[in-house]
Structure 1
């Protein structure tokens, strides 16, 4: 890490896979302020690379993992889990305060948000901070459906944590001012497999069935579930797309590929907490000149909550 700081680091690129889409290549590309490119071999990369984040004041960088491209590019298959083709490492966000030694990671399939922190002896520990209970289902491929967290972020003032459940269809806001005790302060349903009108219904412990109320925006039905999110720098506007990966989209939300994806805006109460769908904002990628498109990631040109790291 000291070497990277001395280079005047501009950014890092995590390599995703090795030969034939099997194992991770154990390499990163570093590009400094002079646009000099060099390949790094950290020696501690996860088996399947994905995202990275670092906290310079703690001389620590944490890399993350997804899975073998030869597995996930073909869609989700439970057998790939038992075959070890999905990673068991971290997807992380440190708090933005560069002096803080705590952050959060998620486990997608178990739908857990995990807090990691530094001990007094310099070692690192973790604990489950938020757990989304899987829903019992009727008319689905499995008896229970995980929320499937696919993205999360922390507001620039480190007060709120946001994450999405791509399969369930909700966006959540938690107050993390007390990082050991997150409190749910906002939740909106913006799609998902269990929205009203879907053949899939959730079942309560008492045997009752229910489906989520999902409103239309400008007369348009919300498609698929929330997938990637981005927050304005003032924390008042949260944006969400809904395409994960085309083969997964076809598997879980086949209509999305035919109709195209969209971007929606969620208005945020930054005082007491709370989320509300903005009825006047809807970017429809189903009307593109060359046919429906799938929107995935978003970035602010001047920096944003998922990429800004301060020294």
Structure 2
């Protein structure tokens, strides 16, 4: 929460995880902006993470629970969703500069979790046998 940093590790050898990428967005102290709007500090930090089944897209939202959001961000949270492009073979993540729904687009609602169409998200796996 403090730094707003998301880390990616190669865990093919679980006894020797290898850091392959990191992305900073928002955070309690840093408020790192999205590259599409570098002059606009982000409120909140990556909270909920959804990974596409092919491992190439990672979606981040910035609200966990309203009561906790209010404690950590007493000035409020402007909602946002960010898409990262990931390389599942070699590692690495980059922020998609073209994908940045935020603020008024959510009509005053907070953004908690992303579900991709057709069960194409990590949290939708339980729907299939």
TM-score, normalization by structure 1: 0.37
- Deviation of 1:302 (Å): 1.7
Which among 18, 21, 24 is matched to residue 189 of structure 1? 24
Distance 1:218 1:278 in 2: 9
1:170 & 1:263 partners in 2: Cα distance? Answer: 15
Check conservation: 2:5, 2:25, Cα contact below 8 A. yes
The answer on whether the counterparts of 1:268 and 1:274 sit within 8 Å (CA) in structure 2 is yes
Map Cα deviations across residues 56-89 of structure 1 (whole Å, 9 max, x no partner). xxxxxxxxxxxxxxxxxxxxxxxxxxxxxxxxxx
Cα offsets for 1:37-74 (capped at 9, x unmatched): xxxxxxxxxxxxxxxxxxxxxxxxxxxxxxxxxxxxxx
The residue number in structure 2 matching 1:253 is 73
Where does residue 104 of structure 2 map in the other structure? 287
User: Which residue matches 1:308?
Assistant: 125
> Hey, what's the Cα distance between the residues in 2 that align with 1:182 and 1:216?
28
The answer to whether 1:272 aligns with 2:90 is yes
Counterpart in the other structure of 1:16 = none
User: Partner of 1:281: helix, strand, or coil?
Assistant: coil
Distance 2:6 2:63 in 1: 15
The alignment yields a C-alpha RMSD, in angstroms, of 2.1
Compute the displacement of 1:288 (Å): 4.3
Greater relative contact order, per chain length (Cα 8 Å cut-off, separation 6+): 2
Q: Distance in 2 between matches of 1:167 and 1:281?
A: 24
Pairing 1:297–2:117 present:
no
Higher strand share: 1
Instruction: Compare CA radii of gyration and give the structure with the larger one.
Output: 1
Q: Tell me the CA shift for residue 189 of structure 1.
A: 0.6
Unaligned runs of 5+ in 2: none
* 1:43-192 alignment runs, 5 A limit: 166-192=1-27
2:63/2:111 contact within 8 Å kept = yes
CA deviation vs aligned residue, 1:252-281 (integer Å, no higher than 9, x gap): 113334xx3110011112232111111111
